[in-house]
Chain A
């Protein structure tokens, strides 16, 4: 088991290192000239030199790479933002908690809806109602989330005026009581969480459904049935519990999807997170920020996969036994 864990951690570290290398050479070898794109055509030679030295572009590329990668690994130093002049690490530290908060809320909401829905679909498999649910789910899955966000803003913010259309808090947050502050955040949270969570619901529900249907074929379900346990009990206690194992994988594998979705949701709802920072940085041609957010997102994906692998091994004793052989 220890060998399995260390092997996985080592592999993940290598992958992150490779990802960092990839991002660096990608930005630096791409056909466009970052300095010109940042400054525009009518820049003076002096401005150019300042930006070049700021980005370290005046040194040979292997030196640039060396100092960048040691900076990232040893000091967590991702350079300074071109726009604000602040360290990228600080800019990221401001926004990452917001993205994680949004993503976590959406993920929990989607599980709360998807798991019972999946079990219910397995229970009613083949019925008309199940087919209807499936088609509705597919329809929701097909909605462009940025458009759904806009339409919800139109209905709930502009027409009905029930909810705020963007941001994470109201401007007058400081003058509110803690209870009001909590309610204020909650009101800002409703639409983004819904938009980010809703498209993944049907995917997970179908996953749970297939998984439950597969478990229902197993011998131990037969024996439970033979012992005269009620159908409900078999479904919820025996089948669901055994089919929840793949859910751990979903948690890990959903991270890229959630991060990607967060980019879209944050853009629409002006949520002060990593996704919006990335999009803003792209329009401002703020390369250090872009490199920073891509690095962090890659890191999160690797971490998610690692945790999913390890979690799976801890939960399923069969994997532990197999990995004892040193997989």
Chain B
């Protein structure tokens, strides 16, 4: 509770939360209030109309309203990024817990594997994975999720290593509780804050990665939309219809900025010495 209070009193965190909430409301609840679908075609004269009162963000090549597409696109982009980060966090926490609390040999194996995964620049790993499967939004979520757990695993492991020697864990072990019970009941709750923070810090980069994959056409497929895919559609019409590529890009920038501000704010609260320290 205390943490939430200080989060709201931190300037960058509260601005970040505000931006993110605004975008979430826009793309999750927006489509419920507006009638019209992202794939509803307009008349031929409505193709690539400039932003106007009727279509505030203009229309695309097929006369579809960009504002509505932006809402639906935000839905898939935000949901994909959120699930992907969650997936990374789950895998990272499990690996970190097992490595930190498990036997020495398991720690060695898991950490060597983590180091090995870090050898590949993430985008190459993502592209390699994307290459062996058929493109879809699900694929993007899984691919981003399973290539981003390594730093979380390391973080969790180091936390667990110090928790392991604390009295309450030693006592639980003295009572003869099983390792799984101790890990889930005594250690996990103490590790969760660290995991949540690193999730917030990773959100921005995840959105960027998701939008790039969608831009390449490896993400959502027609008729679904996402911000990255919208930019790709606008790429061929930069001169005639700048808004097609510009507007989704601004939406992505705002989202990432919100996530980064939130991450910065959280770090400021937890680590006041390094206030405004280096970014991940």
Interface, chain A (partner B; CB < 8 A): 15-16, 18-19, 22-23, 26-27, 30-32, 34, 37, 134, 138-139, 141-148, 150-151, 153-154, 158-159, 202-203, 206-207, 209-210, 255-257, 259-260, 263-264, 267, 278-279, 281-282, 285, 287, 290, 293-294, 297-298, 301-302
The majority secondary structure among interface residues of chain A is helix
Provide a sorted-by-A list of 26 A–B residue pairs whose CB atoms are within 8 angstroms.
Answer: A15-B119, A19-B116, A30-B129, A31-B133, A37-B132, A138-B257, A138-B279, A142-B204, A142-B253, A142-B260, A143-B249, A143-B253, A144-B256, A146-B231, A150-B231, A153-B238, A154-B242, A209-B276, A210-B276, A210-B277, A256-B120, A257-B121, A259-B124, A260-B122, A297-B120, A298-B119
Nearest-CB residue, chain A, relative to B245: A150
Within 8 A of A (CB), among B103-155: 112, 115-116, 118-125, 127-134
Give the number of residues in B that approach A within 8 Å (Cβ atoms). Answer: 47
Residues of chain B within 8 A of A32, CB atoms compared: 132-134
Residues of chain B within 8 A of A158, CB atoms compared: 238-239
Q: How far is the CB of A268 from chain B (nearest CB, A)?
A: 9
Q: Are B124 and A150 in touch, CB under 8 angstroms?
A: no
Q: Are B120 and A264 in touch, CB under 8 angstroms?
A: no
Q: How far is the CB of B15 from chain A (nearest CB, A)?
A: 9
Taking each of B120, B260, B261, B277, which has the highest tally of chain A beta carbons within 10 Å of its own beta carbon? B120
Q: Are A301 and B121 in touch, CB under 8 angstroms?
A: yes
Q: How far is the CB of B143 from chain A (nearest CB, A)?
A: 12
Q: Are B239 and A151 in touch, CB under 8 angstroms?
A: no
Q: Does B274 contact A (CB under 8 A)?
A: yes
Supply 10 further A-B pairs (C-beta < 8 A) apart from A154-B238, A158-B239, A206-B277: A19-B120, A31-B132, A34-B132, A142-B253, A142-B256, A143-B256, A147-B248, A150-B238, A203-B279, A210-B277
* Bound CA span A203–B239, Å: 33
Residues of chain A within 8 A of B248, CB atoms compared: 147
Residues of chain A within 8 A of B131, CB atoms compared: 281-282, 285, 287, 290
The majority secondary structure among interface residues of chain B is helix
Taking each of B208, B252, B256, which has the highest tally of chain A beta carbons within 10 Å of its own beta carbon? B208
Q: Does B65 contact A (CB under 8 A)?
A: no
Residues of chain A within 8 A of B204, CB atoms compared: 142
Nearest-CB residue, chain B, relative to A200: B279
Q: How far is the CB of A44 from chain B (nearest CB, A)?
A: 22
Residues of chain A within 8 A of B226, CB atoms compared: none
* Bound CA span A287–B131, Å: 8
Residues of chain A within 8 A of B260, CB atoms compared: 138, 141-142
Q: Are B215 and A206 in touch, CB under 8 angstroms?
A: no
* Bound CA span A300–B215, Å: 27
Q: Are A141 and B279 in touch, CB under 8 angstroms?
A: yes
Nearest-CB residue, chain A, relative to B11: A131
Knowing A146-B231, A294-B128, the reply to whether A18 touches B252 (Cβ < 8 A) is: no
10 shortest interchain CB distances as A-B pairs: A147-B249, A30-B132, A142-B256, A256-B121, A207-B278, A260-B123, A142-B257, A32-B132, A154-B238, A282-B131
Q: Does B170 contact A (CB under 8 A)?
A: no
